[in-house]
Structure 1
Amino acid sequence: MSTSQPSSGAHALKPVLSTLQLWGIAVGLVISGEYFGWSFGWASAGTLGFTVTALFIAAMYTTFIFSFTELTTAIPHAGGPFAYSKRAFGPTGGYLAGAATLVEFVFAPPAIALAIGAYLNVQFPSLDPKLAALGAYLVFMTLNIVGVQIAATFELFITIIAIFELLVFIGVVSPGFSMANFTKGGWSGQDDFSWAAIPGMFAAIPFAIWFFLAIEGVAMAAEEAKDPKRSIPIAYITGILTLVVLAVGVMVFAGGAGDWTKLANINDPLPQAMKLIVGENSGWLHMLVWLGLFGLVASFHGIILGYSRQIYALSREAFLPSYFAKVHPRFKTPHRAILAGGVVGIAAIYSDSLITIGGQSLTANIVTMSVFGAILMYILSMLSLFKLRSTEPGMARPFRAPLYPFFPAFALFGALVCMATMIYYNPLIFGLFVGFLVLGYVYFKMTGQQRADAMPQGMSAPAAK
């Protein structure tokens, strides 16, 4: 059997996911971004500066999702962006998009796992956060292997609980909320805006992206959706609107709870913000720590699903070793791909000397690496949309990007601004990112004949016309 065959046997996925489950995946993939990660942006931009940055990123993501949905419904493929860029720009385009998506989805989980460890450490100070992160990997890789239907149902359940908990957080801190707290030193430490605040706002871009990072992972569940042409647009659009509302609410109420500078550069800003209002011994605080884990788990669990489908799709088309394209004979899940991504993530957790560079924490640098992959993927996806509109105008498009070409153009512009800014402020992490791409490209060139040999039997997305 060809490594690129998606339809049957050892390489087959089962279409079992409903619209509600896809919405749960869309929100669940991202919702940990409401619990941690974003507050690192306050360190450079302040609360008000970061709000401006976050609103720009929210607009970029909203226009991106409305545009990306056109690609997802027209080409429902487990590889997601890999398949779109491959169709638009050929194998090299597919490689770049696939590698970028892989970096995004493989490096996001270790950051979330470390946050899970930090939350548990609040309750159990003697527990090593890295050991807890390792345990999280083992538990949720196993759950993902057991079956996508079980995994998606679990994802929906914990996502709903995570949303409820964010609303509880807002309700508990609201009596102590003060806009004066939120605005004090809100422009990079200054009370009033000045041009000197702008560099900090640009430097905070990766952490604003963390509010929404990975929502595009729904595309990688497209082959497992019962009715992708109908359900994916609903899941995407309702998902991004849900996340924008939650992001704004959490950020504003956390910043208004007290001295927001104590919440920058930590992995558990919400429990610490609540502590400023209710004290260290409140039952509300303990509830937030325990239920707050649901938000982190929802994203962690969902992104494992996402990275495994990306590894699976790339392996199926001989962009990675075909070994990882094997589907479990009983559970019909890409178990080898799930384990492979876990090995890389666990290695990242224990690679302090490599990843703790540039004066930032391990978590902040892992977040930044993941964001580099995401932004490159966003750029390639929007370019693919424009290219396919030109070269394949007759392609069936169940959902068409509204306000074309303005929405995809704004999303592309925003992504280019983000990429340029991130390179400027994170040259060392960018160097590592480019290093990963170069190593992958060497493998890509070395295996060209293998893909050519597989092509006559392959059933992958067709190349661009």
Structure 2
Amino acid sequence: MAQLENNLSTAHQEVKLARSLKPIHLWALAVGLVISGNYFGWSYGFGAGGPIGLAISTIPVIIFYATFIFCYSELATAIPHAGGPSAYARRALGPFWGYMNGISCLIEFMFAPPAIALAVGGYIHYMVPQIPTLAAAVVAFLFFIFINFLGMKTSATFELIVTIIALIGLAIFWIAAAPHFSWARVAQEPVLPNGYGGIMAAIPFAIWFYLAIEGGAMAAEEMLNPQKDIPKGFLSGMGTLVVMMCLTLFLTAGIADYNLVTAVDFPLPIALAQVYGQGNLVVLAVNFIGLFGLIASLHGIIVGYSRQTYAMARTGYLPKFLSQVNTRYHTPHWALLVPGLIGIGAAVTGLTSVVITISVFGAVALYLISLISFFVLRKKEPDLKRPFKVANGPLVGGISFAAGLFCLYSVIVYNLTAVKWVALIYGLAILWYLVEGRKELRPFEEEFGVLDEL
């Protein structure tokens, strides 16, 4: 029986992910993974710190991501592995930290989709009040798991299309809002309603503008030329997102009382409705196209969590059946479904802001462990082939690490309710590693043998 299981496992390992992606696909993944952050979620930061407080909180976040993405691109091109952060940390720091970085990635990528799905349900309910928010959220989640099952080329092409449509929707919002913008609304008194603590409390929602951009690295094994294409896709995506964030944040605050959008999952149509009226065609168009922005991120993050789960199961950290790849579509079907069901369970709670904070915590932990891996690999493997190497790497990485520690402090101190749930999740994850997750790890050389073909 044991031999039969080994043979079945080997058969599943031999079905590889297919290489089909170009830089434009990675740009679409990078922007698409994050674009929902412009359509919802970030406006909870208005409730924490007001428009100016949220804007100030984005400064360290932009500094962090702008520096981190360079370091992360170096890691991704040197180790273009579906495990992404799990693979980087394992090579640099050993099996336990590889596992912890992978778990941090899964926390980020499993808890972001429930929040996005709830927003999809909110947008649909806003358009068609007869459809319950939660029912729409669950159906959308299951539908995009199915789309991902149809293959990476299909998924990436779909992601490119919906990302472009979502960008058009944002452009419509920006153009419609610009003539009615008033700086007096942005800077209304009190400018910092919750003081400097409000700025710190807004950090998780500033991060939401960029959360999950790193997920594009988990498509590395499906890139046609990962060493050259990953930097192109990542860096162009980061530049796009900074411009989008500035326009969305200030124009929303500048056309309506920001208190109207501090606790809703569809802030853009609500803000526009204050200017044009709820039934206006422009408002309806932004609401409808906003669904494409949410869909782009929901779909893209499902790609990310499935590849991370697949890679960790292939390594041996997670149950082996999660590494099975469908022979027809070359997609990891169990790695798509199982985390998706966990995400649906989180969506049922309806606690969007808490789910966002849990996801952000996993992201920040991932970033810091990845940066430590960056430093260690620079020292331990100076001759590792690095097609993309960060100039002044220690300085850039040091700035990123300092900004990351600041973000971690903000997330922990000002979001204690969510941190309790995060502590429970990490506790259960460490228990699994001690009991089962370390028993049958693939040898280091075999795990990274996938890189030889590159």
Same fold, TM-score > 0.5, yes or no: yes
Task: For 1:8-47, list aligned pairs within 5 A.
Answer: 9-10=14-15, 12-47=16-51
Q: In 1, distance between residues paired with 2:392 and 2:203? A: 26
Instruction: Specify the alignment match of 1:134 in structure 2.
Output: 138
Q: With structure 1 as the length reference, what TM-score do the two structures score?
A: 0.93
**Structure 2 equivalent of residue 392 of structure 1:** 381
Q: CA RMSD in A?
A: 1.8
Q: What are the residue-to-residue correspondences of 1:238-253 with 2, within 5 Å?
A: 238-253=236-251
TM-score by length of 2: 0.95
Q: Is the 8 A contact 2:174 2:251 kept in 1?
A: yes
Q: What is the distance in 2 between the residues matched to 1:431 and 1:385?
A: 29
When you count helix as a share of all residues, which structure comes out higher?
A: 2
- Does residue 317 of the first structure (1) align with residue 322 of the second (2)? no
> Cα deviations across residues 61-97 of structure 1 (Å, max 9, x unaligned)?
1111011100000000101000000011100110110
- The equivalent of 1:101 in structure 2 is 105
Name the structure 1 match of 2:192: 188
Sort the Cα spacing of 1:331 and 1:422 in 2 relative to 1 into closer, same or farther, 3 A.
same
2:369 match? 380
- Provide the residue aligned with 1:355 in structure 2: none
The separation in 1 between residues aligned to 2:237 and 2:12, in whole angstroms, is 29
Structure 2 counterpart of 1:145: 149
**Aligned partners of 1:4, 1:50: CA distance in 2, in Å?**
49
Match of 2:258 among 240, 257, 260: 260
Does the 8 Å CA contact 1:102/1:307 hold for their aligned counterparts? yes
1:436 deviation in Å? 1.1
Change in CA separation of 1:283 and 1:456 when aligned onto 2, cut-off 3 Å: closer
What are the Cα deviations for residues 164-198 of structure 1, in whole angstroms up to 9, with x where unaligned? 11111010011111111111136333xxxxxx621
1:444 CA displacement: 1.1
1:391–1:173 Cα change, 3 Å: same
Q: Deviations over 1:131-169 (max 9, x none)?
A: 000110111000000110000000001101111111110
Q: Is the 8 A contact 1:79 1:314 kept in 2?
A: yes
- Among 119, 122, 138, the residue aligned to 1:115: 119
- Cα deviation for residue 418 of structure 1 reads 1.1
| Cα distance in structure 2, aligned partners of 1:318 and 1:368 | 29
Mapping 1:267-278, distance limit 5 Å: 267-278=265-276
| CA spacing shift, 1:404–1:82, aligned 2, 3 Å | same
Number of residue pairs matched by the alignment: 445
Q: Is the 8 A contact 1:49 1:186 kept in 2?
A: no
Match of 1:431 in 2: 420
1:403: how far off? 2.9
- Counterparts of residues 408-447 of structure 1 (less than 5 Å): 408-447=397-436
Return the alpha-carbon distance in structure 1 between the equivalents of residues 90 and 201 of structure 2: 32
Which residues of 2 match residues 278-357 of structure 1 at below 5 A?
278-351=276-349
Gaps of 5+ in 1: 190-195, 353-361
Distance 2:99 2:190 in 1: 42
One of 188, 203, 213 as aligned partner of 1:215: 213
Question: Which residue pairs with 2:227 in the alignment?
Answer: 229
The 8 Å contact of residues 4 and 316 in structure 1, kept in 2 or not, is answered as: no
CA distances 1:94-147 after superposition (whole Å, capped 9, x unpaired): 011001000000000000000001111111112111100011011100000011
1:276, distance to aligned residue in structure 2 (A): 1.2
SS of residue matched to 1:15: coil
Which residues of structure 2 form unaligned runs of 5+? 1-5
Between the aligned partners of 2:378 and 2:323, the Cα distance in structure 1 is 31
For residues 444 and 192 of structure 2, the distance between their equivalents in structure 1, rounded to whole angstroms, comes to 58
Letter matched to residue 137 of structure 1: F
Query: 2:11, 2:293 → 1: CA distance?
Result: 32
Partners of 2:391 and 2:111 in 1: CA distance: 32
Which amino acid in 1 is paired with 2:434? K
Q: Look up the equivalent residue of 1:96 and give its one-letter code.
A: M
- Identity among equivalent positions (%) equals 40
Distance, in Å, in 2 between the alignment partners of 1:183 and 1:305 is 39
1:89 aligns with 2:77: no
